[in-house]
């Protein structure tokens, strides 16, 4: 609880230059309305743990103690204390350390050129501090002498950073950054680090030796298979969470009319969730009678194309066997779904970046390499449900196509389930947010638990119907509120609870 009184700020600073303020702070401290954190630094919060006060306000404290210093090394990248509470600053000509609860200021000496803040260093003003420029930051994080493990992000981080930068900004950006680093290295006393940086850039641009690299994604780039390392981190999290057995829910629609009826609703809902909306009656005419709905020819083909992919091989139950097959399989699947939309480049990798909300998907240059890395984790999972979820998320997170990514991802998931005679999964309209929000939580927060829970529930829901009779199936799905666009008013019900 914050017990600040009379609107006193959380932190107060005393200085010799302002004697009136210093005397006021001294009076407040003597009267018990302030507590001292450090010489000249006080807080009006009399009860909260000091760590909760100090760590979030590290910048104000640093500005007071070391104005004009440079936030450098790993701190320049993080722009906050690391997990151990360290901030690294370049200031003055003497190394020292000040420890607070939750924060340690590590002061590192710098050359005279650094202390005078020459414009040529291009450091970024940050209040009364500076942040190392991009070129300087890379040089500092290549420091490899005593204490480097603590103060730097390390060479693999630099390689990965440059590889990603090359993807986003191109080789000309790497060249420009190398030129900037070359210009400032002598002023910083980092000539040795520049030689290392030059070696890394040359390797990434394939004008130097690739074997000098250490980061996996940088090596993949030089091998012509670049991938998105941030996505691989998320894949690893999901992979770890899925490495366990799940109860098998058997397929309720293996043969005959049941298979046909299941495929109808799988196609119907998979398209509806992506905005291709028809009534069930209209979709029935498209799939059962081959009718194209007037003025909606392309939408009609999407529903029919998805239905055919669900029913036909290899998309029904023969999922890809290796990385190359995975890429080819996805291309063919997307082509099947969107064959009537040449403007969407069906069956071709995207050429421009795409996004949903504030989620930006994998850069086009990294699509194939990221899919390959994703497939390695799919193949290592033994449980059919785990493998299916991994496959669906990999395709969803990469978003490799201009359109049809969600439908392609769900078809990939269901192919792995049908391969093992397990129930496929339908995502009804009423479950749309329960499906999309966990995907977002995994993508943005690296939290797989909501995704696994959501898909487990959808799996059980799907398996709760008798698919042999179309009218009865349709009526029961309506009774479960499966078709509602407003789940806040009509919650999706469990078919097991509907008589």
Instruction: State pLDDT tens for residues 152-191.
Output: 999 999 999 999 998 888 889 999 999 999 999 999 999 9
Name the token pair of 492.
Answer: 């999706």
Q: Which CATH code fits 230-497?
A: 1.10.3290.10
Is 404 among the annotated ligand-binding positions? yes
Is 151 among the annotated ligand-binding positions? no
CA neighbours within 13 Å on the CB side: how many for 482? 27
Q: pLDDT tens digit string along 322-346?
A: 999 999 999 999 999 999 899 999 9
Question: Is the Cα dihedral 296, 301, 304, 309 positive or negative?
Answer: negative
| pLDDT > 70: percent of the chain | 97
> How many angstroms separate the first and last alpha carbons of the chain?
53
pLDDT exceeds 90 at position 252: no
Confidence of residue 1 (pLDDT cuts 50, 70, 90): very low
pLDDT exceeds 90 at position 358: no
Q: Would you name the residues annotated as active-site residues? A: 399
Is 407 among the annotated ligand-binding positions? yes
Q: Identify the bridge partners of residue 356 per DSSP, sorted by sequence position.
A: 359
pLDDT at 5: 44
> Average pLDDT, stretch 27-42?
94
pLDDT at 114: 55
pLDDT at 118: 57
Tell me the whole-structure pTM to 2 decimals: 0.80
pLDDT exceeds 50 at position 2: no
247: Cβ contacts below 8 Å, ≥ 6 apart: none
Q: pLDDT tens digit string along 215-246?
A: 888 888 888 889 999 999 999 999 999 999 99
User: How far is Cα 27 from Cα 30, in angstroms, rounded to an integer?
Assistant: 5
pLDDT at 397: 97
pLDDT exceeds 60 at position 316: yes
Is 228 among the annotated ligand-binding positions? no
Is 2 among the annotated ligand-binding positions? no
User: How far is Cα 69 from Cα 127, in angstroms, rounded to an integer?
Assistant: 11
pLDDT at 6: 56
Strands 70-71 and 129-131: parallel
Query: Within a 10 A sphere around the Cβ of 103, how many other Cβ atoms?
Result: 22
pLDDT at 117: 53
As to burial, measured by CB atoms within 10 angstroms (0-12 exposed, 13-18 middle, 19+ buried), residue 170 is exposed
> Are the CB atoms for 124 and 198 separated by under 8 Å?
no
Return the domain boundaries, the chain: 1-48, 52-132, 155-223, 230-497
Is 154 among the annotated ligand-binding positions? no
Which of 276-285, 292-301, 313-322 shows the highest mean pLDDT? 313-322
User: How far is Cα 118 from Cα 183, in angstroms, rounded to an integer?
Assistant: 12
99 vs 16 pLDDT, higher one: 99
pLDDT exceeds 90 at position 214: no
Q: What is the mean pLDDT of the chain?
A: 92
pLDDT at 170: 87
Confidence of residue 306 (pLDDT cuts 50, 70, 90): very high
Three-class DSSP category at 43: strand
User: How far is Cα 451 from Cα 413, in angstroms, rounded to an integer?
Assistant: 14
Query: Within a 10 A sphere around the Cβ of 345, how many other Cβ atoms?
Result: 16
> Are the CB atoms for 349 and 339 separated by under 8 Å?
no
Is 403 among the annotated ligand-binding positions? yes
Confidence of residue 119 (pLDDT cuts 50, 70, 90): low
Q: pLDDT tens digit string along 409-426?
A: 999 999 999 999 999 999
Q: pLDDT tens digit string along 449-468?
A: 999 999 999 999 999 999 99
H helix and E strand count, the chain: 22, 11
Q: pLDDT tens digit string along 386-405?
A: 999 999 999 999 999 999 99
Is 409 among the annotated ligand-binding positions? yes
Three-class DSSP category at 249: coil
User: How far is Cα 454 from Cα 440, in angstroms, rounded to an integer?
Assistant: 12
Three-class DSSP category at 393: helix
> Are the CB atoms for 76 and 131 separated by under 8 Å?
yes
pLDDT at 349: 97
Q: Identify the bridge partners of residue 250 per DSSP, sorted by sequence position.
A: 422
> Average pLDDT, stretch 137-155?
94
Of 109-123, 137-151, 337-351, which range is least confident?
Answer: 109-123
Question: What φ, ψ does residue 482 adopt, rounded to 5°?
Answer: -60, -30
pLDDT at 102: 95
């Amino acid at each position: 609880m914050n017990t600040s009184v009379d609107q006193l700020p959380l932190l107060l600073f005393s200085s010799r230059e302002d004697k009136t303020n210093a005397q006021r702070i001294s009076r407040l401290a003597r009267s018990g309305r302030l507590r001292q954190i450090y010489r000249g630094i006080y807080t009006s919060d009399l009860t909260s743990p000091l760590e909760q006060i100090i760590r979030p306000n590290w910048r104000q404290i640093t500005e007071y103690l070391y104005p004009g210093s440079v936030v450098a090394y790993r701190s320049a990248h993080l722009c906050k204390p690391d997990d151990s509470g360290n901030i690294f600053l370049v200031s003055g000509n003497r190394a020292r350390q000040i420890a607070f609860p939750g924060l340690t200021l590590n002061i590192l000496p710098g050359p005279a050129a650094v202390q005078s803040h020459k414009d040529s260093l291009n450091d970024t003003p940050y209040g009364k501090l500076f942040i190392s420029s991009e070129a300087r930051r890379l040089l500092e994080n290549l420091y490899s002498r005593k204490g480097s493990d603590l103060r730097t992000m390390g060479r693999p981080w630099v390689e990965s950073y440059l590889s990603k930068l090359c993807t986003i900004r191109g080789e000309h950006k790497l060249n420009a950054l190398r030129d900037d680093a070359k210009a400032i290295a002598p002023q910083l006393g980092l000539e040795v680090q520049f030689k290392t940086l030059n070696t890394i850039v040359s390797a990434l641009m394939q004008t130097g030796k690739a074997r000098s690299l250490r980061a996996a994604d940088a090596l993949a780039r030089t091998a012509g298979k670049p991938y998105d390392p941030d996505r691989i981190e998320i894949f690893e999290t999901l992979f770890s969470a899925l490495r366990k057995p799940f109860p098998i829910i058997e397929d309720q629609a293996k043969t005959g009319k049941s298979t046909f009826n299941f495929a109808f609703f799988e196609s119907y809902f998979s398209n509806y969730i992506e905005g291709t909306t028809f009534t069930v009656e209209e979709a029935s005419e498209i799939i059962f009678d081959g009718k194209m709905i007037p003025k909606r020819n392309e939408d009609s083909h999407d529903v029919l194309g998805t239905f055919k992919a669900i029913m036909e091989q290899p998309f029904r139950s023969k999922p890809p066997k290796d990385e190359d097959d995975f890429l080819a399989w996805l291309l063919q699947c997307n082509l099947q779904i969107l064959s009537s939309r040449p403007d969407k480049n069906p069956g071709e990798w995207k050429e421009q970046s795409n996004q949903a909300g504030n989620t930006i998907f994998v850069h086009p240059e990294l699509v194939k390499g990221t899919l390959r890395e994703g497939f390695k984790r799919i193949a290592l999972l033994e449980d059919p449900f785990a493998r299916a979820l991994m496959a669906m998320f990999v395709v969803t997170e990469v978003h490799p196509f201009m359109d049809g990514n969600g439908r392609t991802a769900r078809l990939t998931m269901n192919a792995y389930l049908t391969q093992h005679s397990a129930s496929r999964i339908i995502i009804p309209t009423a479950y749309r947010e329960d499906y999309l929000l966990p995907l977002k939580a995994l993508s943005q927060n690296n939290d797989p638990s909501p995704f696994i829970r959501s898909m487990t529930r959808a799996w059980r829901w799907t398996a709760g119907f008798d698919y042999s009779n179309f009218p009865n199936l349709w009526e029961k799905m309506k009774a479960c509120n499966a078709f509602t666009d407003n789940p806040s008013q009509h919650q999706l019900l469990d078919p097991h609870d509907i008589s």
